[in-house]
Amino acid sequence: MEKEPQLCDMIREKAGEMYFRLGFKGVTLDDIAQEMCISKKTIYQHYANKNELIAAVAGTLMQMIFTEIDTIAGSGYNAIEELFEIRKFLRKTIEDKYQLATFQLKKFFPEVSVKLNNSKFDRMQYCITNNLIKGIAEGLFRKDINIDFVSRIYFTGISGTKDTNIFPDELFSMDALHLLFLEYHLRAICTPEGITLLDNYLKENP
């Protein structure tokens, strides 16, 4: 039986709405079916199980995020401004809204989480590599940095800031933590010209 693309998308969108509002753990396929006034059997015609549906929902969100990041990267910002604009987008769009769902994905659906994290690493390394190349060409980042190393360290650092055992909420808000990490990253790779631009940016955008 051929799947109906429209219904398949509608199921994914409704599931995403419910997952990100209530968490991945608490929402069952029965809940989604009831909300859509369809049978659970209909969901199974499009998604083999809950894990497959969760992977589709999370994958769609990730694609949306990186499409917007690509748009920001092509908007004419210099390499330093670009990273801050991406941070603004992520802070405004996803950090608080999807925090519960992200935590539950890692805890209760580890196989899905690992696959998505691998995909996230590939996309983020691509974005950061391009940012580093741009910054070097603009004279804002040092020419002697190891791009492959820095791009991997950046991913590791961003991922590490989400570990509340190391960075407890009572010591660091997520927004402040990401700003601290971004400044740490930039001061490690900037040329004197880049440091001046960074300092001016931070003064103008407290």
Q: How far apart are CA 206 and CA 202, in angstroms?
A: 6
Domain assignment of residue 53, yes or no: no
- Tell me whether residue 81 is in a domain: yes
3-state helix, strand, coil in the chain (%, to 5): 75, 0, 25
Q: In terms of domains, do 162 and 67 share one?
A: yes
pLDDT band at 169 (very low <50, low <70, confident <90, very high): confident
Could you tell me the residue range of the domain that residue 14 belongs to?
A: 1-47
Residue 54 placed within a domain: no
Residue 145 has what DSSP assignment?
Answer: S
Residues 69 and 112 in one domain: yes
- What's the structural domain count of the chain? 2
Name the band, by pLDDT with cuts 50, 70 and 90, for residue 139.
very high
Tell me the pLDDT tens digit for each residue of 2-39.
555 699 999 999 999 999 888 888 899 999 999 999 99
Do 92 and 189 fall into the same domain?
yes
Q: Which residue has the tokens 């209909």?
A: 42
Are 34 and 116 in a shared domain? no
**Phi then psi for 200, rounded to 5 degrees?**
-65, -40
pTM as predicted: 0.86
Residue-level pLDDT at 107: 87
Residue 1 has pLDDT above 50, yes or no: no
pLDDT attached to residue 192: 98
Note whether 125 and 38 are same-domain residues: no
CATH code of the domain in which 33 resides: 1.10.10.60
